[in-house]
Amino acid sequence: MTTIKPRSRSDVVTRAVRSKRILYDNLSKSSHVLNETAEFIWNLCDGEHTISEIASEVRAFFDVPPMPTWNPTSNGLWAC
């Protein structure tokens, strides 16, 4: 099984402006303003954390319960 560890691109410039994180993508020549959650995730995209680890960190930091596991029932409906 392949474990993906996302890494932010080195050509994306980041700056803090008035308590916001701004990204400038040199490839597409576009900018993006990150909210608190997106900035938290962006900072974990360092090539060291797996997607599962990032999700766990987000759930812990923002106190979000894990998603329920969905299982199909015999009548075709979904139940958790």
Residue 6 DSSP label: -
Is residue 79 predicted with pLDDT exceeding 60? no
Q: How confident is the model at residue 19 (pLDDT cuts 50, 70, 90)?
A: confident
51-61 helix and 36-44 helix, angle to the nearest 10 degrees: 140
Mean pLDDT over 30-51 rounds to 95
Q: What are phi and psi of 60, to 5 degrees?
A: -70, -45
| Average predicted confidence (pLDDT) for the chain | 86
pLDDT in tens, 53-78: 999 999 999 998 877 766 655 555 55
Q: Which helix (H) or strand (E) holds 53?
A: helix 51-61
43 pLDDT exceeds 70?
A: yes
pLDDT at 47 over 80: yes
- Look at residue 30 and give its three-state secondary structure: strand
